[in-house]
Each structure stands twice: as C-alpha cells, then as structure tokens.
Structure 1
Amino acid sequence: MESLHKNKTWDLMKLPKDKKTGYSQISGVDFIDVFSPVVKHSLIRALLGIVAMHDLELEQLDVKTTFLRGELEEDIYMQQPEGFTVSEKEDYVCLLKKSLYGLKQSPRQWYKRFDSFMTSHDFKRNSFDSCVFLKKNSDSSFVYLLLYVDDMLIAAKDKGEIRKVKAQLSEEFEMKDLGPAKKILGMEILRDRKTSKLYLSQKGYIEKVLCRFNMQSAKPVSTPLAAYFRLSSSLRLNTCHMFHTLVQWDLSCMLWFVHVQIYHMQSVQLADIWRISFGRTEDGVIGYVDADFAGDLDRRRPLTGYVFTIRGCAISWKATLQTTVALSTTKAEYMAITEACKEAIWFKGLFSELNEDLQINTVFCDSQSAIFLTKDQMFHKRTKHIDVRYHFIRDIIAHGDTVVSKISTHENPADMMTKSLSITKFEYCSNLVGVHC
C-alpha cells in the first residue's frame, strides 16, 4: 500500500453513472493492446559474448514494483482495497492512474514508459530486438542495456559510464543496484578477468529442480540419450502414471525440466551439468545446420537442428520438427538450411546495429546436394512440392547475403541437435561450440 500511494496509483472519486467496477477486464473497454516484448535469450548470450571479447564491465539492476510504473491509457475503476477504505469516503472508488499487478496491460504500459525514458536520454532502441538499447559516448565507446521485464544488464568499457546510466535510471525509477552481474533469468554468470573468460551455467537452477522432484541423488549420465534410443508416442503408455504425478507439481518447472533433459518423460536422466564458455578466440559468428530425415517415428517429419557461435561459443540453437514431411534427405536438409539462414539474417542485422563488426555470412551444412539445391533452379520438377516460403533461401544466396558451405559430418556440431550420439561424438560436438562440463 505504501508503494501504491507513493506512486499515486489512483484518485478517489464518485463512480460515474455510465461506469462500473469489476474484477474482469473487457477487451476493447478496459484494455486494447497487451503485448510487451522481452529480450531474447539468444541476445543475452550474444551480449555476454561481446562482453568477453572486449573485456567490458557488466552490471545489473532491478526495478522495484515494476508494474506500478506504467501510465494507464484507459479509464479503469475499482473498489477500494478491503481493509484500506478511506474514512468518510466509503462509497468512493479508485480511478486508476497507474497500472497495477494483475491488469492485462501492465507489462505493456511499463515497457512503453521505460522505452520513452531511454529514448529521451539519447539511447537508441535496437530495431531487431526492442528490449536492447544502445548509446554512443563522446569517446566513440558504447553503452549497452538489455531489459527483461524488471531485470537489466548494462555493459560498457568504463564503469563511470555505467554509473551515469544508473544515476539517470534512479532519478526516474526506484532501482535496486545489484552490482556486477552474477545471475540473469536463472543463469549464473561467472567471470575470470585474468583469462578473459566468461561462463554461463544453470547449475543452481537445475539442482533446485532436481530437489523439487526428489532426484538429487539421481545417477549422472554422459549424454542425454543413448545412441540407439528412439522416441515415439507408443512409449507414452508407460509414462502416464509418472506424468500424472509430476503434473501435481509446478507445471512450468516440470515442462522446463523435461525439455532440457531431452524431449520425453521416459528418457529423463540427469546429464552432467555443463556450461557455456565465452572467450577471445579469432572466429566471428558461424552457423551450423543439420537435419534428421524422417526422425519423427509417428508422422515421419524431419528434425531441423542448428547452432550459432560467436568466437566459438554457442549463442543460439534450435532443435524442432519440420512442419511438413520431406521426400528425401536432401529436401529435409534444404528446409533446415532455410531456417538457419533466417536466424543468420537476424543476427547480421543485430550485430550491425550493435556496432559490432562480426561478419555472419557463412552457414555450414554437411549435405552437398542440399547446398546445390539452394543455388540452382534445375531441380524445380523435383522440388515443386516444397512450400514457397522455403525457396526464399535461393534469393538470399543469389544476392550474396549468406553463403552456405560444405562441412564434414564429423565436424558439424549441429549433429547433436538432431540425433542421439555416442559419448565421444557428443562431447566433441559440445566442445566445438564452447560447451564444457
């Protein structure tokens, strides 16, 4: 209540005759738009890669009572909170001036206010991610700010520039200075400035989840799945009881756990805890892509897998079933290349706006026939069944925006995104993208 009054969240007044209070918001009346962006996880990792490359300072801030900061654009009336009715104004209602926790538009209104503040202080919003802000200093250095709801990461070459930004933010919002960044969204940030290394780990969160499911004594394994293991819906009959039990726990936590430990309730095992290692290698941004033909045993759809690295460290990856069935391995690889190149184009624009000279023109694939297919129209008769949206890769290749190059299957780290591997191959692929135990 102190925060609500301090932020002047409402005005007390008589309820107008044509208005009413209520617990349910009506679309078009009590709210219009509710979408609010949050920074992408891949961009957080990209920034950490930049921090490690240039040995930047990295600090963290938290906004107190975030959703009470947004300015409301609709007239919303509510009853006075129970137990806090103003004496002699018991029949008055609250006309909300600021957003409240629970209002559908609160996240959006908070972001709009923060965005307005940042742009008024000479920060430029990144057009490839609306939660990334960039400011150029007089000495041509840059300050980067990433926003995830109420969590902020600030990176700059000089601590003095970070202090200036903190002071500006504190004048406008009630902030909590967390000092050097240690954790963001459950990911622990560890730095070794002497060796120019930065590590990203989820060890603490994984251990917390294991305790919640009483699996803290589970036996670790070296790979998520054995190389011979294949999953299908027929295995679900053996997992119904286990699934029903786990649903009684926190659902979102359970889903995250199952996703991380690889795709299926029956196959959940505790793999050794690994971490991403960012450093100062010579490589720029490189993409790797692979596909597993008819890997889905139920509908025979292929699996697309790709991973992008910055200076040899993974910043973005994906493993997902394709939306259609492919008629050959070449077609499956071709569609996977298209998905990877879309990500490459996004990164290319992103780094350009972040003033980072990181060329991302090459995506490596281990299928020579699929690479030929991206360059030549001669296969038209055999590819006319492929959705038009996948053929845009040919225009991208023709204009020189992206180059798809051949790589040996044995050297392609994306192989671990599409199939179960032996321990030796799995560790080798992981090491190629800077993921170590």
Structure 2
Amino acid sequence: MHNTKETLEYIHSDLWGPSRVPSRGGANYMLTFIDDFSRKVWAFFLKQKSDVFSAFKSWKIMIEKQTGKQIKYLRTDNGLEFCSDEFNRLCKSEGIVRHLTVRHTPQQNGVAERMNRTIMEKVRCMLSNANLPKSFWAEAASTACFLINRSPSVAIEKKTPQEVWSGNPANYSDLKIFGCPAYAHVNNGKLEPRSIKCVFLGYKAGVKGYKLWCPENRKVVISRDVVFDETAMLPNLSLKDSSNKENQKQVEHQINTESTPQVSTKIENRVASSPQYSIAKNRTKREIKPPKKYAEADLVAYALNVAEDIDANQEPSNYSEAISCEDSEKWMFAMQEEMESLHKNKTWDLVKLPKGKKTVRCKWVFKKKEGTPGVEEPKYKARLVAKGYSQVPGVDFTDVFSPVVKHSSIRALLGIVAMHDLELEQLDVKTAFLHGELEEDIYMQQPEGFTVSEKEDYVCLLKKSLYGLKQSARQWYKRFDSFMTSHDFKRSSFDSCVYLKKNNDGSFVYLLLYVDDMLIAAKDKGEIRKVKAQLSEEFEMKDLGPAKKILGMEILRDRKTSKLYLSQKGYIEKLLCRFNMRSAKPVSTPLAAHFRLSSALSPQSDDEIEYMSHVPYSSAVGSLMYAMVCSRPDLSYAVSAVSRYMANPGKEHWKAVQWILRYLRGTTDVCLQFGRTEDGVIGYVDADFAGDLDRRRSLTGYVFTIGGCAISWKATLQTTVALSTTEAEYMAITEACKEAIWLKGLFSELNEDLQISTVFCDSQSAIFLTKDQMFHERTKHIDVRYHFVRDIIARGDIVVSKISTHENPADMMTKSLPITKFEHCLDLVGVHC
C-alpha cells in the first residue's frame, strides 16, 4: 500500500555500479532518488562514490526550492558513501531522519533497488535496439528515467509520476525512439548541407531541445530543429572489430543450437572421473528465449546484449558461463587442472565453520591466451581467486606490503652480465602465491562447481595463501626469502629482492625476484642448473631457458661482440595500436619546444570538458610512464611534463601526449646497449630553474651510466621553490648523490670493485656550494636535508665534477632540446637504434 501523504516526506536512494564500461562522460556509477509519494525518479551519473554527497546536496537544494517542502525521511543502504561524517552531519542539521537497511537485506530498500533494476533492464534493450556501444549507457539510463516518470505506475493508482509530482498531465508530443536516426538543422554556408545525420540520445534537462550524437565528428549536439526517422536504425556504432552481422550469426547459433545436451553430457562425464566432487546436473547450455511479446524479427536484438560479453571477449566471466559456452570442455579441463594444483599443494582442509567466524567468498577467473596462429594452440587458464575485499583488517590480515626488485637493479645486473659475459637464464614459479604460509585462520567457501559430495555445508580452512587474499604476495615473499637464505644466499641490503651467493672459486650467482619471475646469472651454467634444481625441489617451477623477456622488456644478446640489448619494441607497438597511432607521422624529439604546458590550458568551456571526458589521457600517460621507467630515459622529461595534469587535462596537454606517441612511432627499435667496460658508475645531473609554470618549482634530472649505458634515471619537480639557479642545481646534486650512494652500495654487494662514483654537473657555482662548509646568509634558508651532500663529498664517497653543458646528457631530462643536441645526449647514455 502507498501510505505517504505528502511529496518529499519519504525519499528512497541507492547507488548502482560499478559499471565495467565508463559512460561517454566518464561516469562509473548511477545515483537515484525516488520520491515515495509520486514515485518520480531522478538520476545522477558519477565518476566515483565520493561524489554522492555533493550530488545529494545539490539535488536537495533544487527540489526543496521547487516544492517549498522539506525532506523528512531518507532511506538508503549502509554504503560508506551514504554514511560518511559529512553526510550524517548534513542530515542531522537539516532534521532528516535516516532509515538504513540491515546488512545483506537489500529488500528493505526495495523501491530503490527495484527502480535501479527497471532502469538497467530498459538500458540494455535500448542500447541493443539502437546498435549503440555500452559507453552510451548513461544517456540510455537518463532517457529511461524520463520515460518512467511519464509512464503509469500501479503504486500510484496507474497515474504517472510526473502528473502526481507536478499536478499537470504529462506531455507525450516530443517522445521519440531512442537511437533512431535524426537529422539536425545546421547552417555552415550556402553550398554546405543543411543537416547532419545524428543519433537520438534523449532529452536535455533544462533545455528545449533534443540531445543527439554525431558519429562523424564524435560530438554531442543539442538541437531543436530536428527531423526524425523512427522507421530505421543506424548500423552498429560499436567500436569492436566484429561486425553486427557476425554478432547476429553467433547469437542465432547459440539460440538455435541442437548440441546443448551433448555438451552437458561431456561435462558431466569428465567430472564423473573425479568422484569427490559433485556438480549440479541441471546446469545445461543456456538457451536464450525472448518473451512472447517479441516478434521473431527482434530475436537477435533481444539476445545480443545477453551473449555480447562471451562472444566479444571469448572469455567467460563466471562459472555458469564457462560450462555453458562453446569451449566448455576446455574451460572445465582448465578448472580441474587448477583444482589438482590446489590439492597437490594442500591449500586447505575441509572443516565445519566455527561459531562467530565468517567466510571469504571465491570465484573462478578465466583467461584465454592466444597462441601463434598455425603453430601454437590457444591456452585456456582458470584461476580460483578469493574475494579478498571482504577480509577484515586486524582479523584476517595485518601487513600486506611485499617488495619487488627495482628496475634499476635489473639493469645493473644486465650491465654486469654484459661486462663479464655471464650466463643469464629465467624462471617462473607456477601458482607462486599458493606457496605462502598463512598466519591467520581464514575460512573460504568451497569453489563453485567443485563442492565435495556429502560435505556441502563444510568450508575451506586455508593453510596456504590464495590469489586474491590481501596478504598473498607478502606471504609468498616471506616463504621465498626464508628458502633462499637457508640455501646460503645473501639478501642484498640495498634491494630486498636481489640475492647473491659466492662460490668456492670466487665467482657469484645472482638471483633477482619480481613476484614470480626470476632472473639468474652466473659464470657457469652448471651453477644455474644447481640453483634451478634446488628451487624445483621446493616450488613448482617453469624453466624458461635463456632470458628473453621480463616485465615486457625484451633481452637480446650478441655473445660475439659481448653486447646485450634491452628493448620494449613489442610493448611500444601494442601501445601505439591501442591509442590508434600506428599510422601517425613520426617526430624527432619527445616534446617540442613550442609546448608550454600549464594548468591554464585545462578545459574551460563545457564543450572542451565534454571532449576531454572521452580522451584516454590517464591511460596513455600511464602506459608511456611504464615505457620510460623500463628502458626509455629519453622519455623522462616529456612524461614528467604531461603527468602533472592528470587530474584535469586539456586539449593542449593531449596534443603533447600525442606528440610523445608520434616520437615513439619513429623510435620503436630504440634500445639500451650494454657491453664490456672498465668504467665505474658515472652520473650526470642537471636542473631547470623554475621550469614549472604553475608553481615555479625547478626540475631535477639525473642519469647514471655503467660503461656508457643508462641504468638509473629520474626527472621530477623539486619539492620546494628554489630562489636561484645555483640553489636549484645544488638541490639536484643532492638528489643525484643519494642515488649514487645507493648504486655504489648495490654494486659493492654484487662484488663489483668500482671506482669512486663521479657525478658531473654543469654548474660551477653549485659545485663550490657543495664543497663550502661555511654557513652564510645565502644558504641559511635551504632545507637541512640538502646539506648532507657536503659531508658525503668531504668524506670522498662521491666526487662532483664540472662538465660542459654540451656534454651533459642530463640536459635532456630537464628541457626540450634541438634534435642534434638530443641525439648526442642519447649516444652518451647508450640509447641506440
């Protein structure tokens, strides 16, 4: 029964999300408010959960101004977005009574939950019927809310929410079919077309106009003068490679297939060979049947959104999809392999759940790895993953940090390998996290599809860590570390993931660990085989032979000339393909001098904000940053510049990112070249005074080489504003000397008797300041931590020397350079094509 007597007396609210696909405006969540009296719904589309409070506040002000009435009751769930301190304070100050649902009882907020489901069911059908990509879900949801508010509801005696809310009957004269072709009037010149073909996306709030999408220029258009063609739909606008016809064939095949019982029988027969498990026999291949009210012509349109994920990705998202898709046998085999591995490792014991204890849920994750066409078959992998987000801190876990080897350490080892012509091989640990010993009692539900017969109510008491648990990485590292130290390996005090062992003949064996990837280097292959044998006795290992690729970096060796090359050609080609820059025109430098980036270039107009919301700026900068960190010191300054505007990038910032991608387009073959050398660690440092146009902070840049090849580099803004060029250079020298001390310590542990590290700087005044122990007026404001370099230099640990600006490769880390100077800097640090 509908008992409320007044508008705004009772408000229902809920947050839907997260969406796998962000909307065109970057939204991941939908926030709804429903007035219990009129059942009118309002929807807000948010980028993150923390935006809920500001959305509620603005909506509350708007609604209360329109009606002259106050919100009395607010019903929500217990989500942190609704229970924050600021949210509670506002409700308390405004006299709003909160009604919160009991945990795990969403039915107590049934009005909002049902409304969200209704909206999203309409969204799926609307997108499917309009052949629009999933990224238009927010526009479809907004239109769905518009229609719901103008549709009769049983809860309000078959009146419409809009009529009950406003007292006036709804106007249906402007309603159009979502996604239909629309021709908007334009006036671009006397000889130009008078209209542009668009797609109808709904109704713009507060504007007497229609919201349209123009596929040609990929922009949203608001227009009143529109002619609609509601008898047709545009072709599929999806960004996927497969055509609409192919999708239709796949869906029709799923609906009309006659092989469903056979597939089901094969699965049951395979499972029957493992008697300890019982799988539900009634799970058969899904048969998608549209409601009777759908015509046969709409069959594909109805089913497309159901089968879209499986057909497009060819990877099931859960167990039910895995056993009902075409490759069900292969996925089932992959799951059985995973279960055998878990039981072999004695990962859990089946026990009754103790009173007061809660279980952690789990799920199956599936991945299909494509093999080489015509040579290697695709690999089907299934992984059982615990849902670690439900773990309680202090109860289910305490510490979670786990170290990984630094990229500088990897390059340092490669330098040593090339210098002494060592053997270099690679190992991989199978199911590495399963080897970690748990220190807490964690109970997990039995895996779906592999419930043990006659023990259905039992749970898994985990003895070993499992993928997905918060502490899995840490427990694996602790187990591996204890194993290595017990076999006479010494852990480096400068990098916790570098291990070394001295042999009887004075030679060394080196091992680097990055989660489950290992690099092993030694003078003799026999020593490497010995270490591999020891590791294989303790862990299940995969021998990858001579090192060829690690962390996306390709390792190439020329033993005749004692050269070793580190490249990211494959990664960069994928990067260019991902951002559609494979056919872009190459440029010669990472960032041209005409780019004067600042926050003043951030979006100002609504059109620019809308444009930038569809640009993958953060993703592109993050991808470039990984290339820079691994093997591309030439990108340091450019990536440092564009990464400052991640929060609010503008068109000019995006052009700078595209420029970097164009530079990569012409330098995919660039690599670091290591070779034989007698030189020690040499550093180069430079600073760009007040290079940041926003806060006038200076930029520190340094690069360290061994044998003329870069092993460590950095380009970053200084933490404080320097008052002079000398001060900026002085602070840069301090940062470089900190890195020099670390590198010198690392190489000394690796048994490399290197000369005293030299750091070259092109500022004579800054060098004098490092040697001057006198305290005077011009240095008293400098932070004490920058003065420690004086003690280091006085002890002779580090030597700071003058170098000509023209011979200082760190110059490219702090500013844009002409092509000739830039190429000379690359030669000085061993970056070659």
Which residue of 2 is the match for residue 238 of structure 1? Answer: none
The 8 Å contact of residues 563 and 673 in structure 2, kept in 1 or not, is answered as: yes
CA offset at residue 228 of structure 1? 3.9
Which secondary structure state, in structure 2, belongs to the residue aligned with residue 97 of structure 1? Answer: strand
Q: Deviations over 1:350-396 (max 9, x none)?
A: 11111111224211100010011111134631122111111111111
Q: Distance in 2 between matches of 1:384 and 1:202?
A: 46
CA offset at residue 251 of structure 1? 19
CA offset at residue 282 of structure 1? 3.1
| TM-score between the two structures when normalised by the length of structure 2 | 0.48
The 8 Å contact of residues 698 and 728 in structure 2, kept in 1 or not, is answered as: yes
* Equivalent of 1:24 in 353, 369, 390: 390
Spell out the pairing of 1:282-431 with structure 2 (5 A cutoff): 282-378=678-774, 380-431=776-827
Which secondary structure state, in structure 2, belongs to the residue aligned with residue 73 of structure 1? Answer: strand
* Gap change, CA 1:244 and 1:6, over 3 Å in 2: closer
Q: Distance in 2 between matches of 1:332 and 1:143?
A: 42
* Equivalent of 2:349 in 4, 11, 14: 11
Percent sequence identity over matched residues? 90
CA offset at residue 188 of structure 1? 0.6
Deviates more, 1:288-297 or 1:390-399: 390-399
CA offset at residue 97 of structure 1? 0.3
Q: Deviations over 1:305-343 (max 9, x none)?
A: 000001110000000000111000000000000000000
Q: Deviations over 1:395-433 (max 9, x none)?
A: 111222111111111110000000000000000001001
Q: Distance in 2 between matches of 1:251 and 1:374?
A: 29
CA offset at residue 213 of structure 1? 1.3
Q: Deviations over 1:169-215 (max 9, x none)?
A: 11111111111100111111011111110000111100011111111
Which residue of 2 is the match for residue 280 of structure 1? Answer: 676
Q: Distance in 1 between matches of 2:654 and 2:719?
A: 23
CA offset at residue 23 of structure 1? 5.9
* Gap change, CA 1:232 and 1:243, over 3 Å in 2: farther
The 8 Å contact of residues 758 and 798 in structure 2, kept in 1 or not, is answered as: yes
* Gap change, CA 1:8 and 1:244, over 3 Å in 2: closer
CA offset at residue 90 of structure 1? 1.3
The 8 Å contact of residues 416 and 429 in structure 1, kept in 2 or not, is answered as: yes
* Gap change, CA 1:108 and 1:145, over 3 Å in 2: same
CA offset at residue 158 of structure 1? 0.6
The 8 Å contact of residues 429 and 517 in structure 2, kept in 1 or not, is answered as: yes
Which residue of 2 is the match for residue 56 of structure 1? Answer: 422
Q: Deviations over 1:62-105 (max 9, x none)?
A: 11111111000011111112221111111111111000110010
Which secondary structure state, in structure 1, belongs to the residue aligned with residue 440 of structure 2? Answer: coil
The 8 Å contact of residues 76 and 96 in structure 1, kept in 2 or not, is answered as: yes
CA offset at residue 229 of structure 1? 3.0
Q: Distance in 2 between matches of 1:398 and 1:245?
A: 34
* Gap change, CA 1:306 and 1:383, over 3 Å in 2: same
Q: Distance in 2 between matches of 1:387 and 1:135?
A: 41
The 8 Å contact of residues 373 and 379 in structure 1, kept in 2 or not, is answered as: no
Higher relative contact order (CA 8 A, sep 6+): 1
Q: Deviations over 1:278-320 (max 9, x none)?
A: 0113321100000000000111000000000011100000000
Q: Distance in 1 between matches of 2:587 and 2:455?
A: 66
* Gap change, CA 1:363 and 1:243, over 3 Å in 2: closer
Which secondary structure state, in structure 2, belongs to the residue aligned with residue 15 of structure 1? Answer: coil
The 8 Å contact of residues 344 and 360 in structure 1, kept in 2 or not, is answered as: no
Which secondary structure state, in structure 1, belongs to the residue aligned with residue 437 of structure 2? Answer: coil
The 8 Å contact of residues 710 and 830 in structure 2, kept in 1 or not, is answered as: yes
Q: Distance in 1 between matches of 2:463 and 2:730?
A: 53
The 8 Å contact of residues 11 and 96 in structure 1, kept in 2 or not, is answered as: yes
Structure 2: segments with no counterpart, 5+ residues: 1-338, 359-387, 602-624, 637-652, 659-671
The 8 Å contact of residues 572 and 627 in structure 2, kept in 1 or not, is answered as: no
Q: Distance in 2 between matches of 1:292 and 1:219?
A: 30
Q: Distance in 2 between matches of 1:210 and 1:244?
A: 12
The 8 Å contact of residues 286 and 360 in structure 1, kept in 2 or not, is answered as: no
CA offset at residue 244 of structure 1? 22
Q: Distance in 2 between matches of 1:39 and 1:321?
A: 25
Q: Distance in 2 between matches of 1:251 and 1:12?
A: 53
Q: Distance in 2 between matches of 1:23 and 1:82?
A: 18
Which secondary structure state, in structure 2, belongs to the residue aligned with residue 265 of structure 1? Answer: helix
Structure 1: segments with no counterpart, 5+ residues: 236-241, 253-263, 270-275
CA offset at residue 265 of structure 1? 2.8
CA offset at residue 138 of structure 1? 1.3
CA offset at residue 227 of structure 1? 3.1
The 8 Å contact of residues 680 and 757 in structure 2, kept in 1 or not, is answered as: no
Q: Distance in 1 between matches of 2:635 and 2:506?
A: 47
Spell out the pairing of 1:139-150 with structure 2 (5 A cutoff): 139-150=505-516
The 8 Å contact of residues 290 and 336 in structure 1, kept in 2 or not, is answered as: yes
The 8 Å contact of residues 13 and 92 in structure 1, kept in 2 or not, is answered as: yes
Q: Deviations over 1:229-270 (max 9, x none)?
A: 3221223xxxxxx99999xxx999xxxxxxxxxxx532124x
* Gap change, CA 1:305 and 1:404, over 3 Å in 2: same
The 8 Å contact of residues 726 and 765 in structure 2, kept in 1 or not, is answered as: yes
The 8 Å contact of residues 348 and 463 in structure 2, kept in 1 or not, is answered as: yes
The 8 Å contact of residues 136 and 143 in structure 1, kept in 2 or not, is answered as: yes
Q: Distance in 2 between matches of 1:105 and 1:154?
A: 26
The 8 Å contact of residues 229 and 420 in structure 1, kept in 2 or not, is answered as: no
Across the two proteins, how many residue pairs are aligned to each other?
Answer: 410
The 8 Å contact of residues 283 and 311 in structure 1, kept in 2 or not, is answered as: yes
Q: Distance in 1 between matches of 2:627 and 2:591?
A: 23
The 8 Å contact of residues 756 and 799 in structure 2, kept in 1 or not, is answered as: no
The 8 Å contact of residues 348 and 359 in structure 1, kept in 2 or not, is answered as: no
Q: Distance in 1 between matches of 2:488 and 2:450?
A: 42
* Gap change, CA 1:361 and 1:23, over 3 Å in 2: closer
Which secondary structure state, in structure 1, belongs to the residue aligned with residue 390 of structure 2? Answer: coil
CA offset at residue 226 of structure 1? 1.7
Q: Distance in 1 between matches of 2:433 and 2:756?
A: 38
Which secondary structure state, in structure 2, belongs to the residue aligned with residue 336 of structure 1? Answer: helix
Deviates more, 1:294-303 or 1:379-388: 379-388
* Gap change, CA 1:38 and 1:225, over 3 Å in 2: same
The 8 Å contact of residues 198 and 278 in structure 1, kept in 2 or not, is answered as: yes
The 8 Å contact of residues 682 and 704 in structure 2, kept in 1 or not, is answered as: yes
The 8 Å contact of residues 435 and 464 in structure 2, kept in 1 or not, is answered as: yes
* Gap change, CA 1:23 and 1:182, over 3 Å in 2: closer
Which secondary structure state, in structure 1, belongs to the residue aligned with residue 806 of structure 2? Answer: helix
Q: Distance in 2 between matches of 1:228 and 1:110?
A: 49
Q: Distance in 2 between matches of 1:426 and 1:116?
A: 47
* Gap change, CA 1:157 and 1:414, over 3 Å in 2: same
Q: Distance in 2 between matches of 1:281 and 1:420?
A: 30
Which secondary structure state, in structure 2, belongs to the residue aligned with residue 382 of structure 1? Answer: coil
* Gap change, CA 1:342 and 1:54, over 3 Å in 2: same
Q: Distance in 2 between matches of 1:121 and 1:225?
A: 49
The 8 Å contact of residues 715 and 814 in structure 2, kept in 1 or not, is answered as: yes
* Gap change, CA 1:395 and 1:244, over 3 Å in 2: closer
Q: Distance in 2 between matches of 1:297 and 1:251?
A: 20
Runs of 4 or more consecutive aligned structure 1 residues displaced over 4 Å after TM superposition: 242-246
CA offset at residue 16 of structure 1? 1.3
